[in-house]
Amino acid sequence: MQTAFITGASSGIGRATAVALSKAGFQLVVTGRRRERLEELAQELAPVPVHILTFDVRDKAAVEAAVAGLPAEFAEVDVLVNNAGNAHGLAPIQDGDPTDWDAMLDGNVKGLLYVSRALLPTMTRRKKGHIINIGSIAGHETYANGNVYCASKAAVAALSKGMRLDLLPHHIRVAEVNPGAVETEFSQVRFKGDTDRAAGVYKGFEPLRAEDIADIIQFMVTRPAHVNIAEVLILPAAQAAATVIRKD
């Protein structure tokens, strides 16, 4: 049985991906900061083997300790889904909060690096692995007040390309999935718990669901070994660009 390691699996795209990959025959390592949610997920997926790790991807030491402590039956990871990330605030650069900047750069960029680095020695030794980095349309189209978030996702795009080049000799596939508007807890985090403002982001059109992204990831990681779907941009039908959405 192949093993998939999913960060940010307690909600949203990460959780939906865990469900999708369990149905595709993977056993799972699910990670996040909210252990109770991960335990609920593991119970839902039973009898699929699930191992839970609780850590913040921004904490390098915690990431390294968690990966080093994986049980033998989960230690050889075949698929890594770097999903954990965040958006904080929506302000012009001159009014931005450096605490928000740190959270986005540490989570979206450094967290991806920490987790990948911890798992890559086993992948390179086995000459086998598939890494899916969750980017965003924001990494390809900068929009007003999105400054640091867009920069963090542009970094994910650059890292995905760099990883694909560096890991090519090791037979490791690297790909990036770039969603447009997906209704998850994303906007609640960005607007710091303002549920009304968060809900307003998705009014007037049908956004993507986390399951839509999970379906794409499942398809990508179940292709034959000679196929790498390197980059996917997925939008709701009502969206044409980062800030161009038809509202009927």
pLDDT in tens, 33-70: 999 999 999 999 999 999 999 999 999 999 999 999 99
Confidence bin at 184 (pLDDT 50/70/90): confident
**pLDDT tens, residue by residue, 128-153:** 999 999 999 999 999 999 999 999 99
Asked if 74 contacts 29 with a C-beta cutoff of 8 angstroms, the reply is yes
pLDDT at residue 205 in the model:
96
Block residue for tokens 């710091």: 192
pLDDT at residue 193 in the model:
72
- How many Å apart are CA 122 and CA 103, to the nearest integer? 29
What's the pTM?
0.95
Does residue 187 have a pLDDT over 70? no
- How many Å apart are CA 188 and CA 197, to the nearest integer? 8
Active-site residue, from 114, 143, 149, 202? 149
> Catalytic site residue 149?
yes
Residue 214 tokens, joined: 């999970």
- The residue among 16, 51, 58, 13 whose CA lies nearest residue 33 is 58
Asked if 149 contacts 87 with a C-beta cutoff of 8 angstroms, the reply is yes
Q: For each of the domains in the chain, give its residue range(s) and CATH number, in order of start.
A: 3-245 (3.40.50.720)
98 upstream amide cis, omega within 30 of 0: no
pLDDT at residue 248 in the model:
85
Average pLDDT over residues 237-242: 97
- How many Å apart are CA 78 and CA 23, to the nearest integer? 16
- How many Å apart are CA 215 and CA 209, to the nearest integer? 10
129-134: strand order across its sheet: 50-54, 27-32, 3-6, 79-82, 129-134, 172-179, 231-234
